[in-house]
């Protein structure tokens, strides 16, 4: 049965102090979250598929005064490397309290002509690798009596967000369902599994897009802009802390109101009136 948290002090409820937090995917969102967890007293293990990328971020964290952070290189699409990473992390740090899986890629093609190689690569990184690292960490959490797992989904897994991202959208919708499946299976082990579904985030993943892309994305949000990576620290800490003790199988939309609706705009001065006989 899930332990009952009766703490009423907000600082204690939301504390991640001394938790061992494994974050996969360096750069952009992963870097911002590593700062957020480190600043709030967690031990951060940052792992990336790109050699040396996690170490660069750990060096930046050290320069900022956060010395309790460690870098790892691994290929998240390979089951053996996921298992080896988790085994090494536990050997060096004793446990894994929180997994935050941010790794993801995307490509754009018309859905009827989506390149097969890119399709398989997107599904491999966004879905298969998420399953593999979650399985590996989940086995550790089962043995240690619990933990928190946070996957990064997307509004693209809830609604079609562009004309040419069918495979990315499919992969993220699958991640949302994956979260539900793991959450239901592992509730009895005191493991919470949830996801955060961001809107567009101002990260290097958008490198190379035209200015008009940015302008149109901003205009689509009720808040008038896309999100920044640092704006996801609060939700990640919530889902990693005791404050979310009774939340599992949930996808938290963090989209600046993007999914809330598409209200109609029209010219009220238009004199062309439609009449029905």
What are the catalytic residues? 168
Block residue for tokens 């919530």 = 238
User: 211, exposed or middle or buried, with CB in 10 Å at 0-12, 13-18, 19+?
Assistant: exposed
Q: 48: helix, coil or strand? A: strand
CA distance 83 to 86: 5
Residues 255 and 20 sit within 8 Å (Cβ to Cβ): no
The residues, ordered by sequence, that sit 6+ positions from 10 with a Cβ below 8 Å of its Cβ are: 243
- What are the E-state strand segments in the chain? 20-24, 43-48, 69-73, 98-101, 147-152, 191-198, 251-254
Residues 196 and 235 sit within 8 Å (Cβ to Cβ): yes
User: 275, exposed or middle or buried, with CB in 10 Å at 0-12, 13-18, 19+?
Assistant: exposed
CA distance 123 to 272: 49
């Amino acid at each position: 049965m899930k332990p009952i948290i009766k703490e009423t002090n907000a600082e204690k409820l939301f504390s991640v102090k001394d938790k061992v937090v494994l974050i996969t995917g360096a750069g952009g969102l992963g870097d911002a979250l590593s700062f957020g967890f480190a600043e709030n007293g967690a031990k951060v293990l940052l792992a990336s598929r790109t050699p040396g990328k996690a170490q660069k971020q750990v060096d930046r964290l050290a320069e900022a005064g956060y010395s309790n952070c460690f870098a790892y290189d691994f290929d998240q699409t390979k089951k053996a490397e996921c298992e080896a990473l988790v085994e090494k992390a536990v050997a060096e740090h004793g446990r894994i309290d929180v997994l935050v899986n941010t790794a993801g890629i995307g490509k754009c093609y018309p859905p009827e002509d989506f390149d097969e190689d890119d399709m398989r690569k997107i599904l491999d990184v966004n879905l298969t690798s998420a399953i593999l690292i979650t399985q590996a960490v989940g086995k550790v959490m089962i043995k240690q009596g619990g933990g928190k797992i946070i996957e990064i989904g997307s509004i693209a897994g809830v609604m079609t967000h562009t004309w040419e991202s069918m495979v990315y959208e499919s992969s993220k919708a699958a991640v949302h369902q994956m979260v539900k499946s793991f959450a239901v299976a592992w509730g009895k082990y005191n493991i919470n599994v949830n996801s955060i579904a961001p809107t567009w985030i101002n990260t290097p993943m958008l490198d190379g897009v035209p200015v008009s892309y940015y302008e149109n994305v901003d205009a689509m949000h009720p808040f008038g802009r896309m999100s920044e990576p640092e704006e996801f620290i609060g939700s990640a800490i919530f889902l990693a802390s005791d404050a979310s003790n009774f939340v599992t199988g949930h996808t938290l939309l963090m989209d600046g109101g993007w999914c809330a609706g598409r209200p109609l705009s029209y010219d009220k001065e238009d004199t062309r009136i439609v009449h029905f006989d």
